[in-house]
Amino acid sequence: MATITIRNISDELLERIKRLAAQKGISMEQEVRDLLQKRYGQRDEVLARIRQRAEVLPMEAESRVQSWKSERRP
C-alpha cells in the first residue's frame, strides 16, 4: 500500500477531521481514507455505470448526434 503525506492543512480542517473521526470512533487516518474512498471510489463506480449504459444504446444514437452537430443543434 502507498503512503501519502499532506502538508499545510488548515487548523480548521484538521479539527473537522478530528471531530468527525471521534464521532465515529475511528482514527483520523481511517477517516481520511474513508473520505478519499467515498470521493474517488464513487467516480469509478459512476464511470462504470455510464460505460454499461452506453453499451446498450442503439447505434443510431451516434448518427443522430453527428447530425445534430452538423446542424449546430444544442
Domain boundaries, the chain: 11-58
Report the pLDDT value the prediction gives residue 56, as an integer from 0 to 100.
Answer: 81
For range 46-65, the mean pLDDT: 81
48 compared with 21, residue with greater pLDDT:
21
For range 52-65, the mean pLDDT: 78
Instruction: Quick: pLDDT tens for 24-55.
Output: 999 999 999 999 988 887 888 888 888 888 88
Contacts of 35 (CB under 8 A, 6+ apart): 17
Beta-strand (E) ranges in 17-65? none
pLDDT of 3 higher than 80 = yes
Cα–Cα distances in angstroms (integers) from residue 74 to residues 50, 57, 67, 68, in the given order: 21, 20, 11, 7
